[in-house]
Amino acid sequence: MNIPEAINDILARYGLGGHSKIPVVAVLRLNGVIGGGVVNRQGLTLAALEPSIKKAFSKRVRAVCLLINSPGGSPVQSAQITAYIRHLSQEKKVPVFAFTEDIAASGGYWLSLAADEIYADPMSIVGSIGVISASFGFQGLIERLGIERRVYAQGDRKSLLDPFKPEDPDDVKRLIDIQADIHRQFVDAVRKWRGDRLAGTDDILFNGDVWTGERALELGLVDGLGDMRTIMRRMYGSDVRFLIIRRPSSWLARHFGRSVSFGLVGGDTVAGRWASDLIAAVEERAFWARFGL
C-alpha cells in the first residue's frame, strides 16, 4: 500500500475520506468556569475556543456535539461563545446538540442554548437562570489593624462598592440595576432559543433555581435525557464516528506542563504569580461549590 492509499485508509476508518458514507460527529468539550480559569490554563472564552469551534464545523461532519460541564461565569463570554457557535451552525448547515454532564448552570446553561437540542443526564444540575455578585466588606478589619487606605479617583461612581468602605445604598441599587439588565438579556436568550418548548412559568424558570435533568425536561429546559453516544447512534446509526476536537495548548504547556512560571513576567515575581494562581483557584472552586460540587 502506498502512502496516499494508507492516508485514505486512515481517513475512511474515521469517516473522513472523500467517498466515505460513515457519519462523523465532532465533539467539543466545554468544561470549567466561563471567562475564567486559573493562570496558565485556558479559560472558556471566545478567544481561546474560536480555533476549536472552527475545527469542529468541518465540511465532513454531520453534527457537532457540545459536552458541557460548567457552573457559569462571565455573561459576556457565555453570550459570545453561544452566538459564534450558532453562527457557524447556520452558515455550515450543521446541527448542534448539547449534552450536559454534572452541571450546566447559569452561563453553563447559556452555552447549551447554542444547540438545536439539549440533552441531560437525569442527575445533571441544570438551570440557575439568574445573576449573582458576591464580595466581602473589610472596613472594620482595616480599622482594627490601624490601616489607613488612600484612594484617589475621578468620577463619583469610580469606587463603586469599594470593599474597604461602608456599603453605600446608592451603590447597591446601581449594582442591582445592572444585574437586572443582564438577567433580562439572559431570559430573552432562553425565550428566543427554547421558545414554545418552555413549559414552566416565568416565576419558576427565571428565579435562579436549579433542577435535576429529569425536572429540567419537564420544564422544557432540555429536550431529552441520555448520553451523547447513545443519542448520536440512535440518530446516525451504530457506525457513527466521533471526532474529538482537542483544544490547542501553548508550546510551554506542551513541553513543560501547565503550571510553568519563570522569573519576572511583567513585573510579577514567581511568588506573586503563585499567589495570583491561588486566588484564582479559590474563586474558580467557589463557582463549583455553589452547587455542591
Q: Give pLDDT tens digits for 8-35.
A: 445 445 555 544 588 999 999 999 999 8
Statement: residue 140 has pLDDT above 80: no
pLDDT at 161: 64
| Residue partners of 192: CB distance under 8 A and separation at least 6 | none
Q: Which three cell numbers stand for residue 148?
A: 489607613
Residue 4 binned pLDDT confidence (cut-offs 50, 70, 90)? very low
pLDDT tens, position by position, 229-273:
999 999 999 999 999 998 766 544 444 444 433 334 444 454 545
Residue among 77, 109, 88 at smallest CA distance from 189: 109
β-bridge mates for residue 67, sequence order: 29, 99
Mean pLDDT confidence for 179-194 = 94
Q: Which residues pair with 99 in a beta bridge?
A: 67, 119
Please indicate whether residue 160 or residue 277 has the higher confidence score (pLDDT).
Answer: 160
In a 10 Å sphere around its CB, with 0-12 CB exposed, 13-18 middle and 19+ buried, how is residue 68 labelled?
buried
Q: What is the pLDDT of residue 270?
A: 47
Given the C-alpha cell 495548548, which residue does it identify?
A: 249
pLDDT score at 153: 66
pLDDT digits (tens, 9 = 90+) for 64-114: 999 999 999 999 999 999 999 999 999 999 999 999 999 999 999 999 999
Kind of pairing between the strands at 125-127 and 96-105: parallel
Quick one: pLDDT at residue 56?
96
pLDDT at 158: 66
pLDDT of 252 reads: 45
d(CA 154, CA 152) in angstroms, rounded, equals 7
How many whole angstroms separate alpha carbon 284 and alpha carbon 281?
5
**CA-CA distances (angstroms) from residue 50 to 3, 77, 205?**
32, 12, 31
Which CATH number fits the domain 3-128+209-289, given the four candidates 3.90.226.10, 3.30.300.160, 3.40.50.300, 3.40.190.10?
3.90.226.10
Q: What is the largest CA-CA distance in the chain?
A: 80
Angstrom distance (rounded) from CA 46 to CA 33? 13
Domain ranges in the chain?
A: 3-128+209-289
Beta bridge partners of 118: 98
Specify whether the CB–CB gap between 53 and 27 falls below 8 A: no
For position 137, what pLDDT does the model report?
62
Indicate the pTM of the whole model: 0.75
